[in-house]
Amino acid sequence: MANLVYRRRFTVEWGHCDPAGIVFNSHFFEFFDWSVWLLFETALGVPPNELGTAFGIVGIPLVDAKARFLKPAKFNDVADIASEVSEFRRSSFDVAHRISIGGELAVEGSETRVWAGRDPDDPVKLKGMPIPAAVIARFRATA
């Protein structure tokens, strides 16, 4: 069994760039976020705005994010991103991202997110909930 990998291609737009035409680093975290939501939609067959209704959660908030920048991305570059859940734990999971430009790895990133619902003791707060086995199974693909 292998992990489901969500892949997409996008073109770097001027709004992603600094005045020198190089992607401003914080935008890579936006690219990661978009891909996580698309990965979940692909795996679970549920649009992001319906995750709460379908699974009884508030969402999958980000609790940690990292990136390693290996090659600059520039205006009009065509980038390929590959994202996958690399590890599931009881109520949290890690997502690995790889962005390539022209076939060369440009950025590696990782995120930790939580499968979160309302805290029954304080509904203003969120609390990690166990990730259902059926959800985890949807992120496994046959090799």
Number of domains in the chain: 1
Is the predicted pLDDT of residue 142 greater than 90, yes or no? no
Q: Is the pLDDT higher at 137 or at 123?
A: 137
Is the Cβ–Cβ distance between 107 and 72 less than 8 Å? Answer: no
Of the chain, the percentage scoring pLDDT greater than 90 comes to: 92
- Please tell me the predicted confidence (pLDDT) of residue 123: 87
Q: What is the mean pLDDT of residues 117-140?
A: 93
**Other residues' Cβ atoms within 10 Å of the Cβ of residue 137:** 10
CATH of the domain at 94: 3.10.129.10
On whether the pTM is more than 0.85, the answer is yes
Q: pLDDT tens across 80-93, in order?
A: 999 999 999 999 99
Residue 60 pLDDT: 96
* C-alpha–C-alpha distance, residues 9 and 82, integer Å: 9
Integer CA distances (angstroms), 94 to 64, 85, 126, in order: 9, 6, 19
Task: Give pLDDT tens digits for 42-92.
Answer: 999 999 999 989 999 999 999 999 999 999 999 999 999 999 999 999 999
The residue segments making up the domain with residue 35 are: 2-141
Length, in residues, of the chain: 143
